[in-house]
Chain A
Amino acid sequence: MSEAKSFKEKIHNVPPVLWMLITCIAIFTILSPQFFELSNFRNILIQAAPLLVVSIGVTVVLLSEGVDLSTGGTISLTTVLWITFLKMGIPITVAIIMTLIIALFVGGVNGFIVAKGNIPPFIVTLGMASITSGVALVITQGYSIYFFHPLFSRIVNSHLLYIPMPIVIAGVVFLVTWFLLYRTKYGAQVFGLGGNPEALTLGGINRIWSVVRVFSYSGLLAGITGLILASRIESGNPISGVGWEFDAVAATLIGGTSFNEGRGGIGGTILGVLLLAIIRNALNVIGVSSMYQSALIGSMVLLAIIIDVSMKNKKDNRIETEV
């Protein structure tokens, strides 16, 4: 190990997602000058904020060697539940708490089935996604339900110290998660679950509750995302969360968190979310028809993940040959 890292080594250590971000920004700026405007970047950040919230939860799950594909369903359900509670005349803070408790509970059930039943998390959470969106459809009979409350626009449009509120919310969620992951014993357990579950048992930790905590957290953050989304569309929509689970997992993977050993972290996820948001925004600005967007974004995400994984493999090989 050399003390001073060479410039080349520093370049090698820059996460691939940062290169992709820079490249994308450069390309889109050339394609459309409007893209590179301050107001547009502000827009991108506001659009990215709710995705960041849910992606942070998914990142925590991936770090523990799980995966959560139920977030989209949870988001749909929370928009519907919250609006339904409001329509029933329940005070808004109580409705928020009730909705979030349900989201947390949905995540907890995921975790419990995964850990207790020893069932692969992708199938458990996929099943849960089906259940939650099904319930949302039943409640609304397949329609959007509308309601208006002044808090909605405060969540979407107000500012705190000149920062738009959705960004503030995402920032708070990030900070709280950062402290939980890196400054509490529960965070250490997440990395333990991902890296060496045996060590947890030997350390006297109940693995099942550890897993339940991780999935509950992801459920809770999906719930918060649902609240932001419902405020934005001022309605409860049983299919509003469709596709979010993919975006959240994709942002996490692009951000450098890996499916095994507990490698990665929530810092990279910010970059992954930004990349997704930028691609989506740029396609709109450039004027690509929404029909093509889904396929294009899918391909770009896959490409990003392939680049990331192959670069990582190369790096690992390099390290091994050095030994």
Chain B
Amino acid sequence: MQNPILSAQGISKRFPGVQALDKVDFDLYPGEVHIIVGENGAGKSTLSKCILGAYLPEEGEIYIEGKKVSIKSSKDALGFGITAVYQEFNLIPYLSVAQNIYFNREFMSKIPGMVDMKKMHEEAKKILSSLNVDYIDTKTKVKHLGVAEKQMVEIAKALSFKPKIIIFDEPTAPLSEREIEAFFKQIHKLKAAGIAIVYVSHRMHEFDQIGDRITVLRDGKYIGTVRVDSISDDELVKMMVGRDVSQVYKRTENEHTGEALRTENICDKKGKVRNVNITVNKGEIVGLAGLVGAGRTELARLIYGVDDIYKGNVYIKGEKVSVKSPEQMVKLGLGLLPEDRKGLGLALKMSVAWNIVSVSLRDMFPKLFINSQKISDAAEENIKELRIMTPSPHRIIKFLSGGNQQKVVIAKWLNTDSDILIFDEPTRGIDVGAKMEIYTLMDKLAAEGKAILMISSELQEVIGLSDRLYILHEGKIVSESKRGELSEEEIGLRMLTVEA
């Protein structure tokens, strides 16, 4: 085997209050895709930033092609042939594609100070065609490109440095399925060209398709490095979280005491929900599976009073209600944790405490004035109870990880009298560890007698958590099953409504 192009040994990095990296080893071979995984806060990004020169590790050595080096800045890193494609794109919206690729490294013309635009566009075109994306015009302003195209420009920019190592940080997060496929092709091409790739991600289902080796970090510690083809998903999760997968979907046995929510032949105006009958009992978690576009979110929105019901009835705790508005449904004890957490579930620029009390504020302070001490106290309690990782209740929520943001959304509803909760994709974009905590929470809520309706695209999760499972297909319920009645394959087939 070849020698590693990069080898990091015993890397440690401390931040105030946290040991972000604790004697971590990492090596990388030319033409290899080496994945770094771990939960949020495991040290993935810190490690890649140490390689990039953004952080200087306190301990440990980095060797490039066998020579010991010290990388103090991104300039140093570039000098060693290391570059990165950032998660948040670092492109300038109103500059052209070519200007972005060669930003501050413009080709100069003979006239002093003037940029040689022609040469710049030519060179940019060469790089883009080497990536097979000639359709991106080098003169287009980046603002007018789609996300996937922007990423291609980022990759082109990285390649313009003629790097030996490229670091990708969660590159597929903003991309659609089809775009991801195209992106993987690019990765394979880069590999074939002998470029070594560091790939930071927590999307486990992608690893088979692109990765060669995986290094697992947990709480800043090095857990191990394994070959992708020699490890199962379950084993990998166990390495990441330090627990067995069988414990992931643990449910407490509890009584289902009476009906909480029932729909009777409800339909919407657009025909996305057609004659749906579902029941959710107190203390029960009911799953709602189906393909994207099957009408799951639409159904939730009908029940919650966001969209108008065209036909059919809704019963809350046995009583028929005419659904008018979310406000009315909240008063009746309903809560919705929306799919689009950032857009609909949270006020991103406000503090944790304010988000937690936002729904219950009116009950907490029926009179004119509010008491901010009382708000932080109430929030503090939730933060402890749900183990929300935030330095203080006053932290702006934007800066919390996805999992902690979701916990805040849950806390928000816990403070109200809601006893019927609709979770729409509760664990989307959250890492494994936080997912487990959300599952535990949902189980606890059910055990306390709350009724939970869960919409999820992750089959394992709906199967693992639901007491009962409905499958929607083109707006209709096509299957109802009890826990354990159907296998994953059968459920998958019914979602496509192929008779099994």
Contact = CB atoms under 8 A, between A and B. Distances in A.
A43 B63 CA distance: 71
Interface in B360-379: none
Nearest to A205: B104
B425 interface: no
B16 interface: no
B143 A261 contact: yes
Contact of B90 (A194, A199, A261): A199
Interface stretch (A95-103, A152-160, A177-185, A275-283): A177-185
Contacts of A199: 90-92, 103
Contact of A191 (B75, B94, B106, B114): B94
A323 B74 CA distance: 35
Nearest to B142: A195
A185 B113 CA distance: 8
A92 to B, nearest CB: 29
Contact of B75 (A179, A189, A204, A264): A204
Given A183-B114, A188-B103, A199-B103, A263 B143 contact: yes
A261 B93 contact: yes
Contacts of B75: 204
B104 A203 contact: yes
Q: Which among A191, A194, A198, A323 has the highest number of chain B CB atoms within 10 Å?
A: A191
- Size category of the B interface is 20 to 34
Contacts of A203: 103-105
B95 A202 contact: no
Nearest to A264: B94
A198 B90 contact: yes
A313 interface: no
Interface string B68-99: 00000011000000000000101111110001
A263 B143 CA distance: 9
Interface string A135-146: 000000000000
A183 B114 CA distance: 6
B99 A195 contact: no
A195 B114 contact: no
B348 interface: no
Nearest to B94: A262
A275 B318 CA distance: 67
B200 to A, nearest CB: 18
B73 to A, nearest CB: 9
Q: Which among B93, B99, B103, B117 has the highest number of chain A CB atoms within 10 Å?
A: B103
Interface in B19-38: none
A192 interface: yes
Contact of B95 (A179, A183, A195, A323): A195
Contacts of B91: 195-196, 199
A319 to B, nearest CB: 9
A191 B115 contact: no
A60 to B, nearest CB: 13
A261 B94 contact: yes
A202 B103 CA distance: 10
Nearest to B100: A199
Given A185-B104, A188-B99, A323-B146, A196 B114 contact: no
Nearest to B109: A183
A184 B113 contact: yes
Q: Which among B92, B103, B117 has the highest number of chain A CB atoms within 10 Å?
A: B92
A242 B117 CA distance: 41
A97 B479 CA distance: 84
A268 B159 CA distance: 36
Contacts of B74: 202, 204
B113 A204 contact: no
B92 A262 contact: yes
- Size category of the A interface is 20 to 34
Interface string A163-199: 0000000000000000100011100110110111011
A63 B94 CA distance: 10
Contacts of B106: 185, 188
A218 B454 CA distance: 58
A29 to B, nearest CB: 36
A189 B113 CA distance: 14
A179 to B, nearest CB: 7
B185 to A, nearest CB: 22
B360 to A, nearest CB: 33
B232 to A, nearest CB: 38
Interface string A227-253: 000000000000000000000000000
Contact of B103 (A63, A192, A264): A192
Given A188-B99, A188-B103, A188-B106, A202 B90 contact: yes
Interface string B130-151: 0000000000000100100000
A179 B104 contact: no
B45 to A, nearest CB: 15
Contacts of A200: 104
B104 A188 contact: yes
B332 to A, nearest CB: 33
A196 B143 contact: no
Nearest to A186: B113
Given A199-B90, A261-B143, A323-B146, A192 B115 contact: no
Interface of A: 63, 179, 183-185, 188-189, 191-192, 194-196, 198-200, 202-205, 261-264, 323
Interface of B: 74-75, 88, 90-95, 99, 103-106, 113-115, 117, 143, 146
Given A184-B115, A196-B93, A263-B143, 19 more contacts: A184-B114, A188-B103, A188-B104, A189-B104, A191-B92, A191-B95, A192-B95, A192-B103, A194-B94, A195-B94, A195-B95, A196-B91, A196-B92, A202-B90, A204-B75, A205-B104, A261-B143, A262-B93, A263-B93
17 contacts: A183-B115, A183-B117, A184-B115, A185-B104, A185-B106, A185-B115, A188-B106, A188-B115, A191-B94, A194-B94, A195-B91, A195-B92, A200-B104, A202-B90, A204-B75, A261-B93, A263-B93
Interface pairs A-B: 8 shortest CB-CB: A203-B104, A195-B92, A195-B93, A262-B94, A199-B90, A192-B92, A191-B95, A191-B94
